[in-house]
Each structure stands twice: as C-alpha cells, then as structure tokens.
Amino acid sequence: MSLISRRKFVYASTLLGVGLKFISPSNIFASKNNSVIRPVVISTWDRDRKPNLKAWEILANGGNSLDAVEQGVRVAEDDPENNSVGYGGLPDENGIVTLDASIMDWKGRAGAVAFLQNIKNPISVARLVMEKTKHVMLAGEGAKRFALAYGFKEENLLTEKSRQAWIKWKESLSKEDNWIGNESHDTITMLAIDKDGNISGACTTSGLRWKIHGRVGDSPIIGAGLYVDNDVGAAGATGVGETIMRTLGSFLIVEKMREGMSPQEACEFAVKRLIEKNKNIIKEPYQAAFIALNKKGEIGAYAVRDGFDYVVSMNGETNGYKSKFEIKE
Ligand code: ASP
C-alpha cells in the first residue's frame, strides 16, 4: 500500500475512537482572551495517536513535559508498524537501520544522537546525553557504546517487513533514484507544555528510507528538527531533512514567535523561507512541515504541500488535524 493510500486507510479505520478533524482555521488554537491552555501536546503525523495519548497520560497525572515527550515518542519507536521511526524503520541503501533523535527541555538543555544503530530507543539515549554528559550530540559507534554502557541492549531493528521493502527497492533500482522522494516521512516530533508552563520537545526518526549509508538528517540537529526556548515556545519538523537543515526551520520559528508571531504565523513564515531557499537546489516535489507551540499553549502547523497531518491533545481530548500547506497543486 502506498503511503498515501495507507494514510487514508488509517483515517478510515482509526481504532482510538477520537474524532477526526480536517483543515481548520489557523486561529482555532489561539487562546481566548489571552488565557493560557495547559497542558498541551502536539506531534507530527496522524498515523497513530498512541504516542500523544501516552504523553497526555503523564501530563494529566501531573508529570512534566520532558517525561511526557520522551515516553510519548518511545511508543512510536517501539512500534514495528511505524516504518520511519526506531524498530521497523526502513533501512538505508545498504539495508542498515540508522537512527537520529534529539530532545530539549525547559532548562535549555539539549541532547541528540545521530547515525545510531541497533539501539531501539534513540530518544532515551539522547536524553542521557543531555542529562549525563557535558555534550549535546553523540554519533555512530560512540553513541552506541555510550548507550550500551547505560544498559541499553543491542538488537536487530530491521523487521522482516522492512527487509522485504528494501529488497523490493533494490530490485527496482534505477539511474533516476536519488535518495529523495515525496513519501515515507513519518518522523515523530512531539512538543508539550505541562501544568507548570514548562516546555519540552523530542524528535526521533530512522530518516529517509534508502538514504546513503552515513546520511544524517535534520532530526538530531538542534535548531533544525527541533528547538525549545522556554521563554517563548518550541518548534519541530518532519520531511526532507536537507531542506530543513538549510534553513534551520525550528530555530527560525521560535525566533519569529519571540518577535511576536503566533505559532501558526511562524510556521507559515518558516515554510515559505524553506521553499524560497531550496528552490534552486531541489527539483523534486518534496515534503517538509513544521509544528509549533508557544507559552500560552497555542499551536500551529504548516507544510510545503498537501498530505501532512498532526495530532493535538488539549482539554482532555486528542484529535487529528490535516495541516494547511503552501503549494497548491
Ligand atoms: N526529517 C527526516 C529526515 O530527513 C525524515 C522524516 O521526516 O521522516 O531524516
């Protein structure tokens, strides 16, 4: 099933019993009378609401936003059916699953891992980098050794389903293949504000499928795939990481919110900038999208093109929304 038809199927058969909502006016999430909404969780892609529900459960029980985002995205990492994150993620061109992840909290701390192999929960390794070391990012073999030292188990992350998909791609490989496609972007980026007004964010991915071995995307790059500044808000990304890295979209969104833009306005600004700065570089019909959250609990989302959706938990409800987008085709 193609990603697009699979997503329609997920829409039609969602088991979580929560209402589906479609493109909404951008101000639907603006707070009324300057009031503050807490807690709030927003995450990329409405493929499965369990990550949001996990984060919400933690926040509703008085937990903090850092635990909420870490535990929330771990649900996606553990899910073998999610082929863009953690276990079951589609491999690179050599059939090897390599993972990227980053995390930031309200204290301004950041941790990240890149090109990590055979460790199922990169987000928790990123959190340990943040909490246990003076560094921000560990990569490759060093990141794995660090994880093993903290008791993580080495395991095979390539599921049979992902291996079959890779074999099929190898069989149909052509000269036109360039590692950039418009499908298979299900990176989960999650942003949350807790009852105390503290904001954290997490981003985790197996990156672009069939990428060149060694390729690292935007997800572990602080400011590209994720950025949190507790004075202002947070932003996170999904899509072709190269376009996002060139414009440091998440950092840009937080800075625009600092200047007074709403999360929605800031996401739209960042998508327009991304399109402008990538126009002479990337010709394929790529996808990239941002989500954002501010101190008041207001949120925003915007994509380059149609097809991006996201999940929001607030006021005890978890709903999926179809994002607005820039390029109308
Ligand atoms: N942003 C991710 C990357 O480029 C891909 C995705 O969003 O699924 O690695």
Per-residue pLDDT of the chain (329 residues; tens, 9 = 90+): 333 333 332 322 233 334 444 444 444 455 666 678 899 999 999 988 999 999 999 999 999 999 999 999 999 999 888 777 888 788 899 999 999 999 999 999 999 999 999 999 999 999 999 999 999 999 999 999 999 999 999 999 888 888 988 888 888 876 666 555 545 568 999 999 999 999 999 999 989 898 999 999 999 999 999 999 999 999 999 999 999 999 999 999 999 999 999 999 999 999 999 999 999 999 889 999 999 999 999 999 999 999 999 999 999 999 999 999 999 98
Q: State the catalytic residue, choosing from 44, 98, 159, 187.
A: 187
What was the pLDDT predicted at 25?
41
Which three-class secondary structure state does DSSP give residue 30? Answer: coil
Whether 105 contacts 226, CB under 8 Å: no
What was the pLDDT predicted at 2?
36
Ligand 1 centre distance from Cα of residue 101 (Å): 10
Is residue 39 reached through a cis peptide bond, with omega within 30 degrees of 0 on the bond before it?
Answer: yes
pTM: 0.90
Name every residue whose Cβ is closer than 8 Å to that of residue 260 and which is 6 or more positions away in sequence. Answer: none
Q: Which atom of ligand 1 lies nearest, measured to the CA of 216?
A: 9
Ligand 1 centre distance from Cα of residue 219 (Å): 7
- The DSSP output letter for 222 is B
- Testing ligand 1's pocket by substitution, the residue of 218, 246, 287 carrying the most ligand atoms inside 8 A of its CB is 218
- Testing ligand 1's pocket by substitution, the residue of 240, 278, 286, 291 carrying the most ligand atoms inside 8 A of its CB is 240
Task: Output b/e per residue, 200-228; b: 16+ Cβ within 10 A.
Answer: bbbbbbbbbbbbeeebbbbbbbbbbbbbb
Short-list 33, 1, 83, 108, CA closest to 99: 83
Q: Which atom of ligand 1 lies nearest, measured to the CA of 207?
A: 9
Whether 46 contacts 301, CB under 8 Å: no
The pocket around ligand 1, CB under 6 angstroms, is made up of: 84, 185-187, 205, 207-208, 217-219, 238-241
- Testing ligand 1's pocket by substitution, the residue of 47, 205, 323 carrying the most ligand atoms inside 8 A of its CB is 205
What was the pLDDT predicted at 12?
28
- What whole-number distance in Å separates Cα of residue 275 and Cα of residue 54? 34
Q: Which atom of ligand 1 lies nearest, measured to the CA of 238?
A: 7
Q: Which amino acid makes up residue 171?
A: E
Ligand 1 centre distance from Cα of residue 274 (Å): 15
What was the pLDDT predicted at 1?
32
What was the pLDDT predicted at 176?
61
Q: Whose alpha carbon is nearest atom 8 of ligand 1?
A: 185
What was the pLDDT predicted at 284?
87
What was the pLDDT predicted at 170?
84
What domains are defined for the chain?
Answer: 20-325 (3.60.20.30)
Q: Which atom of ligand 1 lies nearest, measured to the CA of 206?
A: 9
* 187 included as an active-site residue: yes
Q: Which atom of ligand 1 lies nearest, measured to the CA of 186?
A: 8
What was the pLDDT predicted at 80?
81
Which residue in the block uniquely carries the two structure tokens 């951008």?
Answer: 26
What was the pLDDT predicted at 184?
59
What was the pLDDT predicted at 3?
36
What was the pLDDT predicted at 237?
98
Ligand 1 centre distance from Cα of residue 30 (Å): 28
Ligand 1 centre distance from Cα of residue 206 (Å): 7
